[in-house]
Amino acid sequence: MFDWWKRLFGEGYIYAEFTCTDGTNGRSRESYIGDPATFDSDEYVAKLKQEIWYKHRRRIMVVNHLRIV
State the CATH class of domain 3-68: alpha beta
Specify the pLDDT at position 36. Answer: 78
pLDDT tens-digit map of 6-61: 666 667 899 999 999 999 999 999 988 877 778 889 999 999 999 999 999 999 99
Query: Who wins on pLDDT, 3 or 36?
Result: 36
**Where do the structural domains in the chain lie, given as residue ranges?**
3-68
DSSP conformation class of 46: H
- Helices (H), strands (E): how many in the chain? 2, 3
